[in-house]
């Protein structure tokens, strides 16, 4: 099955809304856990620089049957449903097995 990668950055406006952002991130973590419990292969996290300082955005990888399935699942992410991130979804083509 193919893998799909969602990249995202939090919209500038929400960087200062700590309580709201924290609430949505907690919902996002629960959403990921629920997908794992349903049997999906999914990894999700945020990016940091060499000093471990966050701010470069988030990264999620999921294995799905099709782009359409991945997109449908990703659009249910609380980060996207609450419109706090700019995001992209791409299929990852693994060239070396």
For residue range 7-46, list pLDDT tens digits in order. Answer: 999 888 887 888 998 999 999 999 999 999 999 999 999 9
Question: How far is Cα 28 from Cα 58, in angstroms, rounded to an integer?
Answer: 12
pTM above threshold 0.85? yes
Sketch the domain layout of the chain as residue ranges.
3-92
Does pLDDT of 74 surpass 90? Answer: yes
Q: What's the fold here for domain 3-92?
A: Alpha-Beta Plaits (3.30.70)
């Amino acid at each position: 099955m193919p893998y799909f990668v969602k990249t995202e950055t939090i919209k500038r406006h929400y960087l200062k809304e700590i309580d709201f952002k924290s609430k949505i991130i907690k919902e996002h973590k629960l959403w990921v856990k629920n997908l794992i419990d349903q049997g999906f292969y999914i990894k999700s996290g945020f990016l940091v620089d060499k000093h471990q300082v966050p701010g470069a955005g988030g990264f999620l990888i999921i294995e799905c049957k099709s782009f359409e399935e991945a997109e449908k699942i990703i659009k249910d992410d609380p980060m996207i449903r609450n419109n706090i991130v700019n995001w992209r979804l791409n299929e990852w083509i693994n060239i070396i097995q």
